[in-house]
Amino acid sequence: MPERGARRGGRSGSTRTARIETSSGGVVYRWFNGEPRFLLIRDPYRNWGLPKGHIEGGESPEEAALREVAEETGLVELEVVTQLPTIDWYFRDRGTLIHKFCHFFLLESTAGEPVPQHDEGITACTWRSIDDALRIVSYANAREVLRTAGRHLGELPQQAG
């Protein structure tokens, strides 16, 4: 991960300083009739994605992923299966360029039903097959994390290479 103040080239070749932010999240799945279903959440802007959020002081990325899933979905009985790829993207917040990194973990849900936590801005939760999840999720980088999770669980072919 680049250090705080990472530089990003602009269209004119100039560089701009970006503030670094780090989050963590979970690709949560549960077995239904021998097949995994993946948990998607809908945000206030009607985008479907994965539960995630900021890492708080003193937390490991894994601890933050478990906490964020619990805060956004109410699910607490989760088993960490493996770490998934870290994704990153740029965005602007009130004029400041942010370079966001998000660590993801594959989490198996063993009990409980997800309930959208409206105070966290979550408007819906749904369990979906890998194919449905890949079709519904709003962001390309989240689709890549889902594909990795699907390959790990044997639901998608392994990448050649």
pLDDT of residue 16: 67
pLDDT of residue 120: 87
Element (H, E) at 86: strand 78-93
pLDDT of residue 151: 94
Which parts of the chain have pLDDT scores under 50? 1-14, 160-161
Q: Strand 52-54 to strand 48-49: parallel, antiparallel, or no bridges (unpaired)?
A: unpaired
The neighbouring-strand residues paired with 2 are none
For the domain 6-152, what is the CATH superfamily, name and number? Nucleoside Triphosphate Pyrophosphohydrolase (3.90.79.10)
50: nearest Cα among 21, 71, 27, 81 = 27
Residues with Cβ < 8 Å from 153, sequence gap 6 or more? 29, 36, 106, 130
Q: Where exactly are the structural domains of the chain?
A: 6-152
